Structure 1
Amino acid sequence: MSWFLCSGKSSRNAKKKKKQSNKPADQISSIPDQAKSNLALKEAGKGSGSDHIAAHTFTFRELAAATKNFRADCFVGEGGFGQVYRGHLESSNQEVAIKKLDSNGLQGNREFLVEVLMLSLLHHPNLVNLIGYCADGDQRLLVYEYMPLGSLEDHLHDLPPDKKQLDWNTRMKIAAGAAKGLEYLHDKANPPVIYRDLKCSNILLNEGYHPKLSDFGLAKLGPVGDNTHVSTRVMGTYGYCAPEYAMTGQLTLKSDVYSFGVVLLEIITGRKAIDNSRAAGEHNLVAWARPLFRDRRKFSQIADPLLQGQYPMRGMYQALAVAAMCVQEQPNMRPVIADVVTALNYLASQKYDPQVLRVQSSNTSSSASSTPRSRRELRNS
């Protein structure tokens, strides 16, 4: 799924001042005016010793060679940015993922520059690692570490019959890791960063199902000082956009928390954020789930059928409670992401073993059935 323009209303300043700055590389000939706010991130990085763009620059020839001239058998997927290919860098003997900007696509030089700046200056185990980029002539490409397990979306939706479904423990591990990546952007980055495009297809999985957030072309610097929000044109993916942001263009950190709540619901239910193939009233995941939050007896209807009942009931209640808080309509009612991380870290640490629970259940049943017999024997003696 690609991202979209939710509304035509824009809050961009009419006057745009041109600003001199150090460019990330000689190949980028001009920096769009809309990206000037993101240049502050580069300046902020100087305080932590990151006073230059650390990403490696590649020529188009190098990346064409790495992908065998972008051959079809190297193609691994497509998104809002363009096509993604698996490549091998001879110089470093490294497997990489190479995104090739679609010149006719939605994202352009501004998003390309934002992505390079963001991922060059922000580093965390739950953010995808940008290895380098190419801005050779009119070619725009991004080079990332290769994530062999693909995206979370690949493991939740439209699974082929031979693909293993995610068990409960793995789902909670992925949810906790994605939340940690978001916590880093909100609480550790200075100034804070609003991701703005959190969705299952942007959560990539490394070996061991270790999640990393990717695609930062829509990221914005968060409000600082006395400001409560950032005003911007509304962009994101339908079904994940916070309602207040979609209606007003006022972007806050809580906008990301809403999107995370939708992702958590997808992880729990196995349903898509928007699925028009479902029955009427079930197209929108949040709208379908909200009435069910109020009745614990209906929680079993929410759980992904592919789990086949293999989940801890208490853990399910707690995970749904976190998701319900994140997708509150009023942003001030949503938790901060640090509290979400605390809750999900706990759930991820509670390892569920269906075999142990089956043995415990069997022993409990045996004890319960033997108790009356023992009492009868005592009465008769």
Structure 2
Amino acid sequence: MIRMQQTMRWYGPHDGVSLKEIRQSGASGVVTALHEIPVGEVWTTAEIGKRLAEIREAGLDWTVIESLPVHEDIKRRNGNYELYIKNYKESLKNIASCGLRVITYNFMPVLDWVRTNTMFVNEDGTKTLRFEKDAFVFFDLSLLKRPGAENDYTGEEMASALAYGDKLSEEDKQLLFNTVLLGLPGSKENFTPEKVLSLLKEYEGIDDTRLRENLQLFLSEVAPVAEELGLKLAIHPDDPPFSVLGLPRIVCSEQDIDRIFEAVPVNANGLCFCTGSLGANPDNNLVRILEKHGDRIHFLHLRSVEKERKGVFKEAEHLGGDAPMATIVHKILQLMNSRNTALPMRPDHGALFTLEEGREHYSGYSLIGRLKGLAEIRGLEQGIVYALEQHV
């Protein structure tokens, strides 16, 4: 029976988690990118080959590119978007010539992902990622002071957020500001409210409909190229799956995915099935999406979130939370065997354990939490395989 390709995300040579440690985790490959290349520039075969050789020397495979980022000009369809689409196609050709096959990307404007707390303390003392609407609304209204932000919230939501903010110290407010902006590209820079507002202003007049059109036009250019090259493009769902800072979001729901696949009906135009991002939307049925679009799923992010109440969710244990992980893994096994292909999977995110506190890592990507998730998913998969083969 075909099994999932087990991988871990690696952020490159400067990642606090080494390739040696990833190999020792039991993963057979890594998911990574050439993060040092500015967004929009061509990935050359020389640079791809250099990174590929480094990974192979460590005894691993470069299984998935995550990600080949899309320039903001393409998302807005202005500025030098035609040049950046041309460069994207050139990068795809170079990627294919180096033997890589799966490329993940997202189409989220400005922010790649958003949390309001990256060190939320669980009952057992581990720390995890969390999103709380009151904290985010307070950030938007009182810290960022986005013009027109009050039009996006009800009076009750604003009052609740301001009450939340009244309890914060100045140090707490600065931490919240920095945490929300972790999803900005190049986020090691200290962003000021002025810089962020300038980025947001560039999206004035671009709503969901316009952004969806721009995605479709981008895919109509690059997906046929990917198809010819034998590549698979896997769009990552929006995280969180709703509008933030007044920005449009167009990969949040089953209906959004339907539109993307219908607009550009080639198999290379596919999905990164992220059970955490899609699972944070209470309207999404993860199993139904998996069954409906199985032939267009090219990459798997397996994690679970716990939706505490409306507007509040946190990362849960990989086999806990709201995602029906046993059913999902069972369906994935059936899907892979019907397609006769092994899908790459990584255990997305992981709690920070006490042993690793103080060690350098990217938020959500400490080693032990992800290793625990990988071991749990591998064990779950093995148990399901055994049951299927024994007809239990």
Question: TM-score w.r.t. structure 1 length?
Answer: 0.26
- From the CA coordinates, give the structure whose radius of gyration is larger: 1
RCO comparison, higher one (Cα < 8 Å, 6+):
2
Question: TM-score w.r.t. structure 2 length?
Answer: 0.25
